[in-house]
């Protein structure tokens, strides 16, 4: 099992390979995110710059256990960052409900600018979250980035939905059912976060890194390499 710290170059290489792998054969939502990142050079540049900063915070830790700890905290932050757009998408909010929610989180932006900003933030955050989870499970060989981290993501999604639904006060001024659930859901999130942070390193159920090394054709060029060549030209 890997015991030495991982340098920034490898973290970025593995992340780029994983974006490419998701675009080819990921789950539907993973393919959508990866292809949106890869299809536009300007979006790729912005994501790669942001992700490089995220991986720098991990790489500057000199011991692997500290790298794992920082990566866990990073995943929490990315889950929080992508939550609003996922809520809009999953709840299929339209019209006034969508405008009201965006106005709540973006008080100084107009509706159109707020929606674009949330979509852009979602793409970058979702892509970095998927890559970070992959780095944690396939490179750092820690299964906490699988089910335990996914459980935190599920709990935070439930909490965020209740928060959004409870942020609109009823006409009668009564506390909504969602508001009443918030303290309980917040406690669950805190407990799962503590569990993830304190959980000792565990063997992942699968090691997907091998899939990244599967040949795709002798003359096939990675879209990541093609993007970098196009940008630097």
> Mean pLDDT over residues 168-185, rounded?
64
Residue 15: is its pLDDT beyond 90?
yes
Within a domain: 191: no
Within a domain: 66: yes
pLDDT of 128-155, one tens digit each?
999 999 999 999 999 999 999 999 999 9
Contacts of 221 (CB under 8 A, 6+ apart): none
The pLDDT of residue 211: 45
Q: Which domain holds residue 19?
A: 8-145+206-232
The pLDDT of residue 110: 87
Residue 115: is it exposed, middle or buried by C-beta count within 10 angstroms (0-12/13-18/19+)? middle
**Residue 5: alpha-carbon gap to chain centroid:** 22
How many structural domains compose the chain? 1
Contact 49, 37 (CB under 8 A): no
User: Which two three-digit tokens encode residue 222?
Assistant: 């990675």
Q: Computed from CA positions of residues 106, 57, 11, 220, in that sequence, does the dihedral angle turn out positive or negative?
A: positive
Within a domain: 226: yes
Within a domain: 199: no
Within a domain: 168: no
pTM for the whole structure: 0.85
Within a domain: 24: yes
Within a domain: 22: yes
**3 state DSSP class of 96:** helix
Q: How confident is the model at residue 232 (pLDDT cuts 50, 70, 90)?
A: low
Within a domain: 41: yes
């Amino acid at each position: 099992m890997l015991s030495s710290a991982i340098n920034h170059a490898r973290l970025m290489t593995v992340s780029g390979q994983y974006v490419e792998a998701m675009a080819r054969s990921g789950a539907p939502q993973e393919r959508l995110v990866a292809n949106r990142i890869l299809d536009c050079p300007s979006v790729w540049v912005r994501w790669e710059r942001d992700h490089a900063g995220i991986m720098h915070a991990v790489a500057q830790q000199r011991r692997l256990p500290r790298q794992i700890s920082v990566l866990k905290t990073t995943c929490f932050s990315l889950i929080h960052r992508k939550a609003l757009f996922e809520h809009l998408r999953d709840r299929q909010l339209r019209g006034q409900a969508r405008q009201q929610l965006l106005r709540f989180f973006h008080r100084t932006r107009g509706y159109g600018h707020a929606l674009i900003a949330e979509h852009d933030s979602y793409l970058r955050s979702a892509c970095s979250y998927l890559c970070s989870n992959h780095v944690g499970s396939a490179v750092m060989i820690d299964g906490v980035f699988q089910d335990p981290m996914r459980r935190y993501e599920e709990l935070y999604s439930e909490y965020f939905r209740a928060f959004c639904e409870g942020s609109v006060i009823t006409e009668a001024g009564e506390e909504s059912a969602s508001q009443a659930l918030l303290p309980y859901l917040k406690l669950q999130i805190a407990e799962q976060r503590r569990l993830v942070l304190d959980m000792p390193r565990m063997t992942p159920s699968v090691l997907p890194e091998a899939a990244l090394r599967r040949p795709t054709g002798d003359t096939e060029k990675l879209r990541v390499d093609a993007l970098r060549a196009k940008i630097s030209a």
